[in-house]
Structure 1
Amino acid sequence: MTPRDRLLGLTVAIMWGLNFLAIRVGLDHFPPYFFAALRFLLIAIPVMIFVPRPQVPARWLLLYGFGFGFGQFVFLYWAMHTGMPTGLASLVLQSSAPFTVLLGAVMLREKLSAWQVSGIGVAVAGMALIGWDRSHQAALLPVILTLLAGLSWAFGNLGSRLAAAGTTGDPAPMRLMLWMCVIPPLPMLALSAAVEGPSTGWEALGTAFSADGWPALIGLAYIVLIGTIAGSGIWTILMGRYPAGTVAPLSLLVPVVGIGASWLFLHENPSALSLVGAVVVIAGASAAQIRRTPRAAVPSNTPVRQAPARLEV
């Protein structure tokens, strides 16, 4: 992974870590499923009008959209609505990283080096340390729901990678991400109508333009523009360039940002043990980016060509 792409991945981690604050503010006003539908609906409408559909197999686009867009946010918003603390949610959701690595190895036959496996193991140990220290802040159901959100994200990661690999012509990862947003709104609105009531979300949207509702609109704008378009767009590009096991560990840095932001703005005070766990996560995620593979000696005057990545399904 190049230093530039690693920096892009770290930028996404910051964007997504702060995204949890925006979600918390939005859920204080909107019902969860309607809020999830609204974030994608605001993107889907202009995308269908102005953005050409990427030439990718429909099954991989659907897997990407239902995994990353629908399943992840159904379970995440449900968990946070039922009492999952913001900082802890940002941590447990990063179970998507080991889930992605496992699914990538099993379903895509992606090979992992021992160094990567060790780094991921260290990062997961750091997550477990933070989770154990903070588990008293959440009941069992919200934690399980957030783990299901992480598993859904992992399936979405595989969908985006398979879609990028199956593209005819230009991979167009940004168009792929934007068209992913077209998939969740209708099933999410149907779920909202069935569970929350057909008018509840729309009534909340009408009152959002009042003095009490404007923070939710700002949170929605951040989620759409920064968390989804910018963050997910960069993530999709990275997932198209590198194996899932190389990119996914970067998401382990999101809870470090999320816990820090929750402490600063929501006064969720992290303990010393949580801070130690955060340092362990950073160390493990950094180590997991290094692929130590033997390289044959090449004469200095011989140009080196990198073979294109091969994806076996």
Structure 2
Amino acid sequence: MTDLHEISRTPVRDRSGAVRIAAAAGLAVLLWASSFVAIRAIGPALSPAPLALLRLAVAALTLTVVAIAQGKFRIRLSRKAVLLIAAYAVLWLAAYTVALNAGERHVDAGTAALLVNIAPLLVALVAGQFLGEGFSKWLIIGSVVSLGGTALIAFGATTHQDGLGVVLCLLAAVLYAAGVMTQKVALRHVDGFTAIWIGCIVATAVLLPWLPQLISEVSAAPAGVALGAAYLGIFPTAAGFTAWAYALRRMDAGRLTAATYLVPATSVLLSWLFLSEAPTGYGLLGGVLCLAGVALSRRR
């Protein structure tokens, strides 16, 4: 998500334009939230790495078609840009996706979304330490509140022998944050769409060693599993980022980013509706604290 925040914006002046922007942002949030549910649904049939490979391969193919249609197939990238894109592709698109897939084998989709959503807070902490942005009072308060929420989720999960899932989802959040920080630097040398497109190609290449296992598991899995993986690649990955880019080009990035706080809540509702995974009391309370901490950390 963060890679698109560098795209230039144009103020909205008409009501119809505002409606289109809101619709695009809402679509992105819904698609991203649905990805946690889809992973949870098809995860038992495909191992974490093969599932990530199939999802990213579909996304790479989809974005390649879009790139050709838009005449962006012939691009020139500096060596530094290629290295930076490769770094964030490995950290975020490949490793993060595998860790999340593994984590959702142990915790429900809503809990996974809540835990991963601490990544923006991690980015703020790293930026404050290494980019000279400093630490505000609210950042410290928000960090403490979010850590308390994470501890509650972990406590509730441990009572259900799902502690490993919490650890894997927290690892996914760390990988996501590291990928975002690397991507911020990469975006100084390449536009957002190209970074996502090439990143998906690189991540697919990194996961190719799991291709034989993917072929074996897909051939033994129900047809719906392959369709679910294709959905993940086309919609949450490719279409979700496209919708977000449309809204971000036309609206202030800071205001629009607040919409991402709806992702965990939407994931919890979708998981409840489609997978009958009712969140535990500890999970709900911990999730509220995590979101509250992230919101507090953004205050000035």
For normalisation by structure 1, the TM-score amounts to 0.71
Cα distance in 2 for partners of 1:182, 1:16 equals 20
Cα distance in 1 for partners of 2:55, 2:163 equals 27
Cα distance in 1 for partners of 2:296, 2:145 equals 9
2:274 match: 265
> What whole-Å deviation, never above 9, does each CA across 1:254-280 have from its counterpart, x for those lacking one?
333223322222222223443334444
Give the drift of 1:207.
5.1
Cα distance in 1 for partners of 2:175, 2:155 equals 23
1:153–1:242 distance in 2 versus 1, CA, 3 Å: same
1:71 match: 95
Say whether the 8 Å CA contact 1:119–1:285 is kept in structure 2. Answer: yes
Cα distance in 1 for partners of 2:288, 2:130 equals 31
Letter of the 1:58 counterpart: V
Report which structure shows greater RCO (CA 8 Å, sep ≥6). 2
Give the drift of 1:150.
1.4
2:202 match: 183
1:39 match: 55
Give the drift of 1:220.
1.9
1:288–1:103 distance in 2 versus 1, CA, 3 Å: closer
- Please say which structure displays the higher CA radius of gyration: 1
Give the drift of 1:121.
4.0
Q: Would you say 1:225 and 2:244 are equivalent positions? A: no
Which of 216, 225, 229 matches 1:203?
216
2:41 match: 25
Going by fraction, where is helix more abundant, 1 or 2? 2
Identity percentage of aligned residues: 24
1:305 match: none
Say whether the 8 Å CA contact 1:33–1:189 is kept in structure 2. Answer: no
RMSD: 3.6
Say whether the 8 Å CA contact 2:150–2:290 is kept in structure 1. Answer: yes
2:8 match: none
> What whole-Å deviation, never above 9, does each CA across 1:194-253 have from its counterpart, x for those lacking one?
xxxx3x321333455xxx322x23422331122111334566896xx869xx99886555
> What whole-Å deviation, never above 9, does each CA across 1:71-104 have from its counterpart, x for those lacking one?
10122223334x3333332222234233222222
Say whether the 8 Å CA contact 2:88–2:182 is kept in structure 1. Answer: yes
Letter of the 1:28 counterpart: P
For normalisation by structure 2, the TM-score amounts to 0.74
1:79–1:129 distance in 2 versus 1, CA, 3 Å: closer
Gapped regions of structure 2 (runs ≥ 5): 6-10, 13-17
Say whether the 8 Å CA contact 1:97–1:249 is kept in structure 2. Answer: no
1:85 match: 108
Q: What is the aligned length?
A: 273
Give 3-state SS (helix, strand or coil) of 1:137's partner. Answer: coil
Cα distance in 2 for partners of 1:189, 1:90 equals 27
Which of 213, 220, 223 matches 1:213?
223
1:115–1:235 distance in 2 versus 1, CA, 3 Å: farther
Cα distance in 1 for partners of 2:281, 2:165 equals 24
Give 3-state SS (helix, strand or coil) of 2:46's partner. Answer: coil
1:250–1:128 distance in 2 versus 1, CA, 3 Å: farther
Gapped regions of structure 1 (runs ≥ 5): 293-313
